[in-house]
């Protein structure tokens, strides 16, 4: 018994000591540190040529040939390249590099590093991001011929086929083209892995920050690059992303001051936060869209354009945006979302059940038909429950006589069925890879890309030709007119009912000043300060 008492007393003492306020010895002060609470479970690597899910740490650790200024996703600006030229046939691009740019490790950035970066992107096996480069016709066999360094300050990219100049430069601003320090990476290559094993949790870039710590599913931490000379050093010296999956816990951390920014709050949490004095909510339209896809072969009724139009008239778009999303989304009926060149503000479809029924009757399906809708478990774009959104769509379609069975499955199962052209109707979304209309018009309109419209077995040659033509042009009025035509064709005939454009929302403590962000560059830390 005496032993029991002693053990109990020891536990109590340790508990009391532990509960006393603790001290720590931080390298950077809280005023220099920004903590962003968000779910980072999807991050599998911080290697810029591999990373695909959350780009912020790579965007801050690496520099690219070109970049987009915050708020302007239409005009690429100089970065590592001080200037560039492109040939009239949209095949050859020549970049002139700024002299004296230094990597975090101290090496000077030259054209050899750019060439090595391209080589990595196309050679790393099963690389999720590689297709952004390989779609331009660059592959492991031809990369040494396509990307050349005639001198240390010049890079020439000679594509085998013409590729949209807007899309090309947009991809050059993507994390996949983040330039790595070839000398440092080569020192860490093991088993011909192109240094992926080392770059998974280290950085070798010339951006304003470098990776201090990454533990998958746990935390990402950046600290300043001491050799950064592409711009002024940012005031924020340490950025931490703890992996906080629960949005209630994100909200709690914000309330206690343990987080400065929260990324995944629900629409109702954001609405409540707007009424609190210590915080503000920053929102802008995300470059993405939630859509309902209709397979035109697997369901005979959906093979008829009138039936697809009937589906589009049957949907209560305002109800979805207002009631389900609670303002966390915008109405959208343009394949190219708001914020990009080629966006069309027209809204040809309004909730009109009578017209939907008339169209169904006209198509010979006045008695209705049955269809199975695949919906991924979890949340849809804009933070709404995917199941709730599917139920709302089911109600709307059943009101005009279309009987819908919902199958809510894991995303990996849904996409397997969808990709195998075996779905009937899918509830899914598409987010930007690179800020060019090509990134939306190709998957939605060109079946030869074997992407979204191909998965729904929608093969429209005139549309595919238009998409191809528009992709090859600079952002001119002619290109704008082509996207207008593409959008009209998609709305009239296409297999997609566009539901909404989600908002991207950050809840921010008022300790943070100069909070600027956009969906491509994400948060701008160059101007940010903290009290």
Partner 1 sequence: MTLLQYLVRRAGLTAFVIFGITLVTFVLTHVVPADPVVSYLGDHAPQDLVVTARHQLGLDRPLPAQYGIYLRQLVRGNLGISIMDNRPVSADLRQYLPATVELATAAMVVAIAIGVPAGIASAVYKDAWPDHVARIFALAGTSLPIFYLALLLLGVLYVRLGVLPGPGQLGIYTTPPQPVTGMVVVDALLTGDWLALRDALQHLILPAAVLGYYQTGLITRMTRGSLLEVLRQDYVRTARAKGVSERGVVLRHALRNALLPTVTVVGLAFGGLLSGAVLTETIFAWPGIGRYATNSVTNVDIPAVLGVTLVIAVIYSVANLAVDVLYAYLDPQIRYT
Do 456 and 423 contact (CB within 8 A), yes or no? yes
Residue 475: CB minimum distance to partner 1, A: 23
Q: How far is the CB of 335 from partner 1 (least distance, A)?
A: 15
Comparing CA positions, the residue from 176, 174, 196 lying closest to residue 185 is 196
For partner 1, the closer CB: 126 or 275: 126
Nearest partner of 61 among 221, 170, 194, judged by Cα? 221
Residue that is written with structure tokens 């995917």 in the block: 386
CB of 415 to partner 1, least distance (A): 5
Compare residues 3 and 345 and give the one whose CB is closer to partner 1. Answer: 3
Q: State the nearest-atom distance from the C-beta of 473 to partner 1, in Å.
A: 23
Q: State in angstroms the smallest separation of the CB of 241 from partner 1.
A: 11
Q: Give all strands (DSSP E) within 132-174, no chain letters.
A: 147-151, 154-158
What tokens appear for 118 in the block?
């391209």
- What's the CA gap between 41 and 214, in Å, rounded? 12
Q: Which is nearer to partner 1, 394 or 455 (CB)?
A: 455
Residues 6+ apart with CB under 8 A from 170: 68, 76, 434, 435, 436, 439
Two structure tokens written together for 73: 């996703």
Compute the least distance from the CB of residue 6 to partner 1, in Å. 13
Q: How far is the CB of 421 from partner 1 (least distance, A)?
A: 10
- Positions that interact with partner 1 (CB under 8 A): 1, 8, 11, 14-15, 17-20, 22-27, 30, 33, 35, 41, 44-45, 52-53, 125-126, 128, 130-131, 134-135, 196-197, 200, 215-218, 240, 242-246, 248-249, 252-253, 255-256, 258, 409-413, 415-417, 419, 428, 430, 433, 443, 449-451
Q: Smallest distance from the beta carbon of 108 to partner 1, in angstroms?
A: 30
Burial environment of residue 64 by CB neighbours within 10 A (0 to 12, 13 to 18, 19 or more): buried
State the Cα–Cα distance between residues 358 and 413, nearest whole angstrom.
35
Question: Least separation, in Å, of the C-beta of 243 and partner 1?
Answer: 6
Q: Which is nearer to partner 1, 367 or 412 (CB)?
A: 412
Smaller CB separation from partner 1, 361 or 449: 449
Compute and round to an integer the Cα radius of gyration of the chain.
Answer: 25
CB of 2 to partner 1, least distance (A): 12
Three-state DSSP at 362 gives helix
The span from the CA of 394 to the CA of 388, in Å, is 10
CA distance 287 to 283: 12
CA distance 228 to 53: 25
Comparing CB distances to partner 1, the nearer of 34 and 114 is 34
Q: Is 4 helix (H, G, I), strand (E, B) or coil?
A: helix
In terms of C-beta density within 10 A (0-12 exposed, 13-18 middle, 19 or more buried), how is residue 100 classed?
exposed
The residue with tokens 């297999």 is 495
Tokens, residue 490: 């998609």
Ranges of beta strands (E only) in 331-394 are 369-376
With respect to partner 1, which residue has the nearer C-beta, 18 or 354?
18
Comparison of 186 and 213: residue with beta carbon closer to partner 1: 213
38 versus 357: smaller Cβ distance to partner 1: 38
Residue among 13 and 346 whose Cβ is closer to partner 1: 13
């Amino acid at each position: 018994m005496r032993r029991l008492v002693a053990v109990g007393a020891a536990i109590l003492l340790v508990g009391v000591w532990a509960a006393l306020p603790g001290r720590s010895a931080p390298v950077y002060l809280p005023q220099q540190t920004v903590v962003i609470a968000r779910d980072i479970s999807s991050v599998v690597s911080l290697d810029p040529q591999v990373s695909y899910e959350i780009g912020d740490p790579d965007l801050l650790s690496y520099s690219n040939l070109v970049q987009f200024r915050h708020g302007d996703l239409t005009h690429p600006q100089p970065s590592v390249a001080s200037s560039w030229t492109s040939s009239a046939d949209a095949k050859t691009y020549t970049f002139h590099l700024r002299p004296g740019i230094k990597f975090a490790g101290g090496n000077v950035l030259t054209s050899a590093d750019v060439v090595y970066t391209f080589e990595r992107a196309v050679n790393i096996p099963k690389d999720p991001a590689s297709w952004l480069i390989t779609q331009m016709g660059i592959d492991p066999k031809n990369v040494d011929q396509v990307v050349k360094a005639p001198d240390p300050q010049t890079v020439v990219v000679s594509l085998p086929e013409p590729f949209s100049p807007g899309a090309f430069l947009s991809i050059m601003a993507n994390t996949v083209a983040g330039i790595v320090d070839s000398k440092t990476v080569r020192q860490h290559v093991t088993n011909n892995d192109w240094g992926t094993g080392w770059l998974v949790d280290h950085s070798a870039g010339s951006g304003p920050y470098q990776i201090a710590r990454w533990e998958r599913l746990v935390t990402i931490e950046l600290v300043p690059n001491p050799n950064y000379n592409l711009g002024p050093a940012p005031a924020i010296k340490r950025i931490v992303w703890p992996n906080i999956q629960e949005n209630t816990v994100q909200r709690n951390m914000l309330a206690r001051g343990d987080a400065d920014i929260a990324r995944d709050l629900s629409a109702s949490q954001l609405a409540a936060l707007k009424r609190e004095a210590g915080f503000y909510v920053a929102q802008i339209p995300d470059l993405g869209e939630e859509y309902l896809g209709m397979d035109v072969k697997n369901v005979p009724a959906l093979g008829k354009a009138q039936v697809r139009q009937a589906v589009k008239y049957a949907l209560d778009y305002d109800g979805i945006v207002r009631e389900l999303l609670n303002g966390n989304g915008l109405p959208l009926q343009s394949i190219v979302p708001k914020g990009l060149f080629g966006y069309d503000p027209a809204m040809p479809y309004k909730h009109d059940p009578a017209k939907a029924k008339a169209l169904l009757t006209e198509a010979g399906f006045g008695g209705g038909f049955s269809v199975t809708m695949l919906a991924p478990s979890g949340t849809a774009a804009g933070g709404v429950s995917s199941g709730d959104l599917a139920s709302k769509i089911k109600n709307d379609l059943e009101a005009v006589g279309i009987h819908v069975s919902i199958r809510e499955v894991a995303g990996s199962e849904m996409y397997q069925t969808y990709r195998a052209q075996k779905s009937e109707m899918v509830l899914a979304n598409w987010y930007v890879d690179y800020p060019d209309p090509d990134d939306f018009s190709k998957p939605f309109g060109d079946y030869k890309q074997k992407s979204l419209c191909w998965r729904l077995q929608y093969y429209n040659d005139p549309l595919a030709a238009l998409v191809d033509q528009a992709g090859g042009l600079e952002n001119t009025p002619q290109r704008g007119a082509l996207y207008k035509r593409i959008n009209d064709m998609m709305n009239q005939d296409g297999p997609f009912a566009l539901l909404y454009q989600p908002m991207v929302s950050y809840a921010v403590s008022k300790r943070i000043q100069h909070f600027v962000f956009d969906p491509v560059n994400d948060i701008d830390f160059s101007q940010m300060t903290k009290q």
